[in-house]
Structure 1
Amino acid sequence: MGLKISSLLMSALAVMLGIVVHESAHALAAYALGDKTARSRGRVSLNPLRHIDPFGTILLPLLMIAAGGPVFAFAKPVPVYLNNLKHPKRDEVLVSIAGPASNIILACVGAAILSLVASEAVAVALPTAVLSALVDFSFTFIFVNLSLAFFNLIPLPPLDGSSILVPFLKGDALHAYYRIQQYAMPILIVVLYLLPMVTGIDLIGMYFDATVYPLGDVLVSLALGR
């Protein structure tokens, strides 16, 4: 029971850090590209209170944990006014990519920490319990941030992938996509829960098997010198 609580706390901390940096990266990218809106509202900040959405960051993950299914979370959307950007069509994509990119960078930071704590000099200097906790957190931090990065690249709102995809769509394709957007949350619920329950097909699991886990394994192998 204690190990499970410890694991949940580590995951919660990793998710919170990942979300805070993710949203700050959006705001910072928008500011760098000409839109000061998010920065003026305090969204370039590592203070979680600046980014937390009561439903998306707290209630939704708790409900999903209780339901025993996949868990995801989202923060308050970062306000971006496209007309303020220097090159709106290009910069919208860059602002959207900034969030997932920040999580991939954090995963690399997690790998660097893992490499450090696994080194002989540090391993000898630290108590076993502390060393074990740092190693476990490093693993968690790597895979949580990769999960946040690739999950947010799914092209459905409110995820970043939708903003990345839209500038490349035109005509009928764009209109069809806007119609699909109205049902984004039900689609996510079906893909995350109903489809695996009814058919045994786990599309998110398959997607993560092709993205998150291979990249995570590479980072872990590099960190441990395998």
Structure 2
Amino acid sequence: MRTSAARSAVRPSPVFIGVVAIAVLGGALAWRSEWGSVSGRIGVFVLVVAGWVVTLCLHEFAHAYLAWRHGDTDVAARGYLTLNPVKYSHPLLSIGLPVLFIALGGIGLPGGAVYLRTGMFSPKVQARISLAGPLTNALVAVILLTAIRMYGVGSGHETFWTGLSFLAFLQVMATVLNLLPVPGLDGYGALEPYLKPTTRAQLDQFKPYGLLLLVALLFVPQINVVFFDAIYWIFQLSGVPETYAMYGNALMRFWT
């Protein structure tokens, strides 16, 4: 009965399906293009940007679906189970801004937000719901990197595989960023129910600025170098050379 209800509640929107189709078209263009060509760069850009929006939707859907499974029916009414990116907070702040940072600096910022009735959950359930998003990014990263390692390294179609590698790199980065215990991010959300009420009240005022502070810190050269070195180190644990992600990042900026 619960499975049947889940199927009726989860209805991928045409918007989400359209974004998936755009990502596939970008990948197909990158696959068919020669290395360094303009068409290949455009294909990688479309693949990475549309692919990032797809994974943003999956991230927020994971939060919403787990909350719904634990009794928060409001998430269905608000459209969070449709995977529609427009439903996840403000389109400009939750989609436009992260996409801009990817295009300009190769930084996979957390984006989007679902509003949950957190007061109805036990601390353990609330922590699980908070961690569902970054774990989704981690799962996507594992799937992409496994495919690249098995079929992409040294097999030709370098434009496509390096573009996909950069998308996987962004998933690794999004996982790490979201797990940081910074107010407003999922890592803090997992810890928040275990904090004293007075501590939570004090930290609540920093939630709107946690992400902005994180962005500012990433533009400090010393912190930026250490952070990216750590992300590349995690990325290389998959067996995929870090140069694949680097080349994918360079190709995505087709205007340079």
TM-score by length of 1: 0.73
2:21 — aligned with what? none
Q: 1:183 to 1:17 in 2, by over 3 A?
A: closer
2:222 — aligned with what? 201
Q: Secondary structure at the match of 1:156?
A: coil
**Preserved contact between residue 44 and residue 159 of structure 2 (Cα < 8 Å):** no
Map 1:75-94 to 2 at 5 A: 75=112, 77-85=113-121, 88-94=122-128
1:19 — aligned with what? 56
Q: Show structure 1 runs of 5+ residues with no match.
A: none
1:215 and 2:234 matched: yes
**Sequence identity (%):** 24
2:131 — aligned with what? 97
Q: 1:179 to 1:78 in 2, by over 3 A?
A: closer
**Preserved contact between residue 117 and residue 134 of structure 1 (Cα < 8 Å):** no
Q: Show structure 2 runs of 5+ residues with no match.
A: 1-36, 242-256
1:107 — aligned with what? 141
- Deviation of the 1:52 alpha carbon: 6.4
Aligned equivalents of 1:170, 1:52: Cα separation in 2: 28
- Deviation of the 1:167 alpha carbon: 1.9
Map 1:128-147 to 2 at 5 A: 128=156, 131-147=157-173
2:94 — aligned with what? 57
1:65-105: CA deviations, max 9, x gaps?
A: 68758462511x212112443xx211111000000000100
188, 200, 203: which one aligns with 1:162: 188
1, 14, 28: which one aligns with 2:65: 28
- Deviation of the 1:142 alpha carbon: 1.6
**Preserved contact between residue 107 and residue 170 of structure 2 (Cα < 8 Å):** no
Q: 1:171 to 1:46 in 2, by over 3 A?
A: closer
| Structure 2 counterpart of 1:97, one-letter code | L
- Deviation of the 1:215 alpha carbon: 2.4
- Deviation of the 1:163 alpha carbon: 0.9
1:178 and 2:204 matched: yes
Q: Secondary structure at the match of 1:74?
A: coil
**Preserved contact between residue 56 and residue 73 of structure 1 (Cα < 8 Å):** no
Q: Secondary structure at the match of 1:55?
A: helix
**Preserved contact between residue 96 and residue 160 of structure 1 (Cα < 8 Å):** yes
- Deviation of the 1:30 alpha carbon: 0.8
TM-score by length of 2: 0.66
- Deviation of the 1:18 alpha carbon: 1.6
Q: 1:213 to 1:45 in 2, by over 3 A?
A: farther
Q: 1:180 to 1:137 in 2, by over 3 A?
A: same
2:79 — aligned with what? 42
Q: 1:205 to 1:31 in 2, by over 3 A?
A: farther
| Structure 2 counterpart of 1:81, one-letter code | R
Q: Secondary structure at the match of 1:219?
A: coil
| Structure 1 counterpart of 2:204, one-letter code | Y
Aligned length: 204
**Preserved contact between residue 30 and residue 95 of structure 1 (Cα < 8 Å):** yes
